Structure 1
Amino acid sequence: MTRPGATAETAGEQLVADLLAPGMSLEETHVSRVFLGRDEVYKIKRPVDLGFLDFTTIERRRAACEAEVELNRRLAPEVYLGVVPVSRGADGRLRFGGGGEVVDWAVHMRRLRDADRADRRLEQGTLDRPGLERVAQVVASFHAAARADEETARFGTVEAIARNVDENFRQTRDRIHRYLDPAEAAEIERWQHDFLARNRDRFAARIAAGRVRDGHGDLRLEHVYLQQTADGPRVTIIDCIEFNQRFRFADVCADVAFLAMDLAWHRRVDLAEHFLARYARAAQDFDLYPLAGFYESYRAYVRGKVAAMLAADAAVSEATRRRAAAEARRYFLLALACGRRPLLEPVVVAVGGVIASGKSTLAEALAETLSAPIVDSDRTRKHLLGVPPEQPVRDGAFAGGYAPEVSRGVYEEVLRRAAAVLDSGRPVILDATFRSRRDRRAARRLAARYGVPFFFLECRAPVAELRRRLVRRARQGGVSDGRLEILDDFLDRWQPVAGELPPEEHLVIDSGRPLADQLARLGERLPAWPGGLTA
């Protein structure tokens, strides 16, 4: 790749001088040089050995380029065009493709619009909650189809995770003092090790549940694009880890927590919580919650380490080193903060009522107010029955998939999932009819077990309005199986709330009133995301 006698630094300068064509720009990372044209991108691996990767030979760099294309086509097949040689022409100059001596290899990509990148959208105020929900759905579908076998499972053990954690601390031992004081650095290391030791059973359960998969490994905002196409919104995710499978074979929570951490780093903790909640619902994986803080801390430390390496790299520009040093400190501080309790106080909010009473609409609105996950009985039931959320289950009102014994299992699972959320110190919203006193008492006992407040919001509407809503729902479809022909049976079996709850815990909601009015009334009773606070 270099001319005789060239040092690594001068070889890099030669490469940039030859390949940076007019109209192109250059971005440098700790492992790559990225040449950005108007419509295409070329990425060259830097000849470095960082311990966790080794690109010091042309053969290794070519293999890494080929792996990058293959793996990233899982989520962005139209972006990754292939691998091309970097060759030296007869004039001695380097070029992409062409004939002549092959001195290196590059990944060839179609360029996506910078304005569509999630971090740019966040800066411009166009990264909204619906967009993040689409990202959550794409990531959940990707994980569902990803490889999960005995080999991937080995990387979900406490021992395998501890290896990665220890490597982080070892590789920053000589420079962490530039960014944190000794007590802060020691606190991060102690907390991550203690968490692994205390939660061995949780990590084992994740393996048993098939949640350790061949994922992305580097799921950050700058790798996510939210595009508007002629066919509607599209999410494209690029740049997964290709150089070391132990950073890609991991609990799916490690991917999800990476993006949540990045949102928090960008001072949008509210959106981080929203993304976690939407992913948990899309993947039906609420058991990730007790591990989310650990993986966020781990991922923040990884990014701090990478930024610190770049800040110490003499082969990049002074401006790049200064920016990397500032970023490193913020990442390390975030790794420290992730080990502390969430910003919102935990609470159990059960939203119930007869079918079509407006409970799911209210639950969705409350979820935004609280930045809290919703555990709903409709999706839980269908997950347990093994059918997609939108597929109707047309059994009778209290038969088949809605038989009493099935419904008991559904409510038990709803409360088990809610307990997982509470284990992380977060609020949780339960969306179910809570038709029976038994089910309402069980939800209240859950809150009492955790020593957190409990509220039962009972949504009501006139029967004529219930019928109108069910006729409309039949035309539109959705997750709920509530329909007009079972309404009367359901009304007959509704058990009124008659003195079973203290008045301060039981709030009757007229769902015929504007949603804003309902939320304003509840805002006087329920905790909410602090006004004006995003981080």
Structure 2
Amino acid sequence: MNEWELTEMTSAELINNLQHPQRFDHPVTTFELIETHISWVLLTGPFAYKFRKPVDFGFLDFTTLEKRFDDCLHELRLNRRFSPALYHGLVKIIGTPQAPQRVNVDETEPLDPQALDYGVQMRQFEQPQLLSELELKQQLPEAELLHLATELAGIHARAPADPPDPSLGSVETVRYVMQQNFDQCRPYLELLESDEPDLLQLLNRVEQQYLQRFAAQQDLLQRRQDQGLIRECHGDLHLGNIALVDGRACPFDCIEFNPRYRWLDPLNDLAFLLMDLQLRGHRQLSYRLLNRYLEQSPDYTGAGLLPLYMAYRSMVRAKVSLLGSGEPGLPLPPALRDDLLLHLQLAEQLLQPTPSAKRGRLVLMQGPSGSGKSWLSQQLLEQQPWLRLRSDRLRKQLHQRQPELPRYGDSLNQATYRQLLKDGSSLMAQGFDVIIDAAFLRADQRRPFIELAGQHDWSVNILCCDTNASRLAERIEIRQSSQDPSEATVAVMEQQLQNREPLSEEEAAVSIQIDTDRPEQVEACLRLLSRN
């Protein structure tokens, strides 16, 4: 056994002694050390090395060589799901504390008890490439973030769904981790009450709202677990843990040290990123990202949990701000206080009940294939916080389950509209405004949606998209050579035009006619809906 015992003090000494180019088997540009409360990150130019501090905070324990070794392996396995190019491998430090040497290690090898310590080797990226830094410079890569939403839906779908402990992801565990934020913030704010009474009062208000929201949604949380929707996720997916590397948004630094914080409802994982975007003033982008995610992973029944999950994530960041303030009772630095206040205020806003006077809004896109329905609905998504259901994507998903059915036959058409009605009703009942992007060419397809809106006193508009037949055909031919989810052909469009049924008097009263080749009509439509 190695007689040398690593303590937090000797850990700092070891990392300091490691900062000599001859200790590494690759060129070293310069050394830079980043310290957190649980780790050291040593930057060398081409590579970054992460070493755990030998600390025990209750929610994590790195006090033995074996625990640090195991955690390094967990970090590599978990993070490679998101960004395999960033996580190169396992390293160990050998030699003496005064003259340590870094060597690569085969990850299948057992623990070496003679090692001084273990760490993870990562590809180094520049700190300005963090999305949190890019956002401050108004350079947030929106296209890459939207692509990440697509990737994230796939990662969540493929993630393990069998927690090693049945308590992981349970209602009791969710309640515990959410309540923990308030319990850990309160001692700090109580000691500051004479100087900062408003912060403690705000914390107490948020906690009461959280308790009410949690109680109201406890049954839904339980159904999520009963349906096997808990997955091994990232757990800490905010802009500060995503870097733009080689033109791709690469998440890193997922929570490997405690499974309680990564075995989650996938919407809880996504909620961290949505919250961070909204906190920074990117509410529209957060909805576009949510729409992109749900198009790939149509988990509409759980969407109503997002305000609770996002408030929880905002409270996590509030807690991190306080824990970074030093000893309890010390005055809060202005920047830290501002950050804390913003997160508490956002949590309070998210937990506010929906005003009873707010009318839900339902928009039905209507028109044949190629008429610009999806394009126009995308313009709406750019301007306002809608959730959109697309018949093209749903039809494709249903056809994959029943490939024997004709893609545009009556059976699959009926199944598509039934599911759109079910999902749209669920989303609107949860307080979201909804766009249904489908052809809606027949009265019996439109009627159930209009009746549903009438039953719940939701406002409804039908956006009737059209243009001349030759332009419809041209668009369809262009679309077939792209990645568009619609698989309608010119023949399908011609059949649609033959079978199209006119709007009733009631439908016409709530319709807006738009030639999508006429920009002035498109602009007028967007302005009208933005006022409603």
Q: Secondary structure at the match of 1:148?
A: coil
Matched, 1:333 2:345: yes
In the other structure, the counterpart of 2:511 is: 506
In the other structure, the counterpart of 1:281 is: 295
Q: Deviations over 1:385-417 (max 9, x none)?
A: 3369xxxx8x9xxx7344434323322221222
Cα distance in 1, alignment partners of residues 277 and 448 from structure 2: 35
In the other structure, the counterpart of 1:482 is: 488
In the other structure, the counterpart of 1:520 is: 523
Change (3 A) 1:476 1:296: closer
Decide which moves more: 482-491 or 235-244.
Answer: 482-491
Q: Secondary structure at the match of 1:74?
A: coil
Cα distance in 2, alignment partners of residues 324 and 18 from structure 1: 33
The correspondence of residues 118-157 of structure 1 with structure 2, limited to 5 A, is 118-149=131-162, 151=164, 154-157=167-170
- 1:327 is matched by which residue type in structure 2? D
- 1:330 is matched by which residue type in structure 2? L
Cα distance in 2, alignment partners of residues 100 and 162 from structure 1: 39
Cα distance in 2, alignment partners of residues 337 and 322 from structure 1: 22
Matched, 1:463 2:466: no
Matched, 1:167 2:180: yes
Cα distance in 2, alignment partners of residues 168 and 256 from structure 1: 19
Q: Secondary structure at the match of 1:459?
A: strand
Cα distance in 2, alignment partners of residues 5 and 492 from structure 1: 82
Cα distance in 2, alignment partners of residues 518 and 157 from structure 1: 51
Matched, 1:226 2:244: yes
Matched, 1:441 2:447: yes
Deviation at 1:201, TM superposition (A): 3.1
Q: Deviations over 1:314-366 (max 9, x none)?
A: 9xxx9998765553343333322221368998421211111211111111111
Change (3 A) 1:153 1:411: farther
Change (3 A) 1:19 1:518: farther
**Matched length:** 508
- 2:177 is matched by which residue type in structure 1? N
Deviation at 1:214, TM superposition (A): 0.8
- 1:339 is matched by which residue type in structure 2? L
- 2:57 is matched by which residue type in structure 1? L
Change (3 A) 1:254 1:110: same
Change (3 A) 1:104 1:465: same
Q: 1:422 aligns with which of 419, 428, 436?
A: 428
The correspondence of residues 276-425 of structure 1 with structure 2, limited to 5 A, is 276-312=290-326, 326-340=338-352, 346-386=360-400, 400-425=406-431
TM-score calculated relative to the size of structure 1: 0.85
Is the Cα–Cα contact under 8 Å of residues 145 and 249 in structure 2 kept in the other structure? no
Q: Secondary structure at the match of 1:525?
A: helix
Deviation at 1:150, TM superposition (A): 5.8
Let me know the Cα RMSD of the aligned residues. 3.4
- 2:180 is matched by which residue type in structure 1? E
Cα distance in 2, alignment partners of residues 307 and 126 from structure 1: 25
In the other structure, the counterpart of 2:503 is: 497
Deviation at 1:15, TM superposition (A): 4.5
Is the Cα–Cα contact under 8 Å of residues 94 and 115 in structure 2 kept in the other structure? yes
Unaligned runs of 5+ in 1: 530-535
In the other structure, the counterpart of 1:189 is: 207
Matched, 1:26 2:70: no
Change (3 A) 1:260 1:419: same
Matched, 1:213 2:220: no
Change (3 A) 1:226 1:371: farther
Change (3 A) 1:13 1:508: same
Cα distance in 2, alignment partners of residues 418 and 192 from structure 1: 27
Cα distance in 2, alignment partners of residues 509 and 251 from structure 1: 40
Deviation at 1:142, TM superposition (A): 0.7
Is the Cα–Cα contact under 8 Å of residues 153 and 212 in structure 1 kept in the other structure? no
Decide which moves more: 378-387 or 40-49.
Answer: 378-387
In the other structure, the counterpart of 1:249 is: 263
Is the Cα–Cα contact under 8 Å of residues 152 and 249 in structure 1 kept in the other structure? no
Identity of counterpart residues, as a percentage? 28
Decide which moves more: 469-478 or 141-150.
Answer: 469-478
Cα distance in 2, alignment partners of residues 321 and 29 from structure 1: 18
Matched, 1:200 2:200: no
Is the Cα–Cα contact under 8 Å of residues 348 and 455 in structure 1 kept in the other structure? yes
Change (3 A) 1:181 1:122: closer
Change (3 A) 1:478 1:13: closer
Cα distance in 2, alignment partners of residues 113 and 387 from structure 1: 45
TM-score calculated relative to the size of structure 2: 0.85
In the other structure, the counterpart of 1:69 is: 76
Cα distance in 1, alignment partners of residues 143 and 323 from structure 2: 36
Unaligned runs of 5+ in 2: 21-28, 105-111
Change (3 A) 1:414 1:119: same
Is the Cα–Cα contact under 8 Å of residues 480 and 487 in structure 2 kept in the other structure? no
Is the Cα–Cα contact under 8 Å of residues 89 and 100 in structure 1 kept in the other structure? no
Deviation at 1:492, TM superposition (A): 2.0
Is the Cα–Cα contact under 8 Å of residues 89 and 101 in structure 1 kept in the other structure? no
